[in-house]
Amino acid sequence: MEFTKMHGLGNDFLVFYGMKQLLGQAAELAVRYCDRHFGVGADGLVFILPSETADFRMVIINSDGTEAEQCGNAIRCAAKYVYDNGHINRTDITIETLGAGVQPVTLAVENGKVKTVRVDMGAPILEGRLIPTTLDGSEIIDRPVEVEGETFRFTGVSMGNPHAVIYVEDAPMYDVHTWGPKLEKHPLFPRRTNVEFATVTGPERIEMRVWERGAGPTLACGTGACATLVSSVLNGLTGRSAWVGLAGGDLFIEWNAEDNHVYMTGPAETVYRGELAV
């Protein structure tokens, strides 16, 4: 099996193209080859497949073998892959995802290669039961969640996948490894959750670190950056656009007041190509 190693701000994937449908052993392959010691090493596998409703369909398998509904960094990598490899010659394309449906994508091209990708991530889902959480309400803002005697306050947002955004004093130095997995699997979140630890440093700047559901701590999370911006607007902490600083770099996030959609702009990089002995 041929693959391409790609990353979006350090959130890295093995990208596969050319299959008609998802492999039956995709989960097993993800666990084996995402291992950074005994495999290639990645946060997940990305399969670019045919779609009946869009130019392409993207399926993401996390490093633990579970399927992700959506991933902002993965969709930028998929978009760069199909353009750079000549599978499409337009700079406005559509990619179908499990959790967010068909998403419009705009490519910024330099010297024949994609430099940055702007993705229409759709409208955020804010209703408690739809995020999903076990809480009722049209918005879940600044709600308490207790873990091992510690009380956190979170804002719930779905960008096609669930997020719990928690504000802390110093996000880059926060102990994500301790609290991330405990919050991810808290009973309040029936399908588990991604957890963002955020610090607002200005009206247009947020520092964020993430514990991704099914992957653990990653250098970047596109949907998490979108959820954090939405949460920051809901909590009156920022305007409707801001740079979100992640461990791997910055994403520019906008929550458009006219169409209620969130737009994410950021880079994607190709690292190398290889073959797996499956």
Q: Is 192:184 a contact under the CB 8 Å cutoff?
A: yes
Q: What is the DSSP letter of 136?
A: -
How far is CA 79 from each of CA 39, 57, 95, 117, 268, rounded to the nearest angstrom? 25, 11, 8, 8, 9
d(CA 274, CA 254): 36
Of 34, 71, 77, 226, the active-site residue reads: 71
For residue 3, list its beta bridge partners. Answer: 274
Annotated binding-site positions for substrate: 11, 62, 72-73, 161, 194, 212-213, 222-223
Characterize 100-124 residue by residue with b for buried, 16 or more Cβ atoms within 10 angstroms of its Cβ, and e for exposed: beebbbbbeeeeeebebbbbbbbbb
Q: 229, 255, 266, 277: which is closest to 115 by C-alpha?
A: 266
How far is CA 247 from each of CA 68, 126, 210, rounded to the nearest angstrom? 21, 26, 9
Does 71 participate in catalysis according to the annotation? Answer: yes
Annotated binding-site positions: 11, 62, 72-73, 161, 194, 212-213, 222-223
Amino acid at site 251 = L
Does 34 participate in catalysis according to the annotation? Answer: no
Q: Where are the beta strands (DSSP E) in 83-233?
A: 92-97, 101-110, 113-120, 143-147, 150-158, 162-167, 194-202, 205-212, 216-218
Of 34, 77, 221, 226, the active-site residue reads: 221
In this structure, are strands 194-202 and 162-167 parallel, antiparallel, or unpaired? parallel
d(CA 74, CA 61): 11
Burial label for 277, CB within 10 Å (0-12, 13-18, 19+), is exposed
Kindly report the number of other CB atoms within 10 A of residue 233's CB atom: 17
**Catalytic annotation, residues:** 71, 221
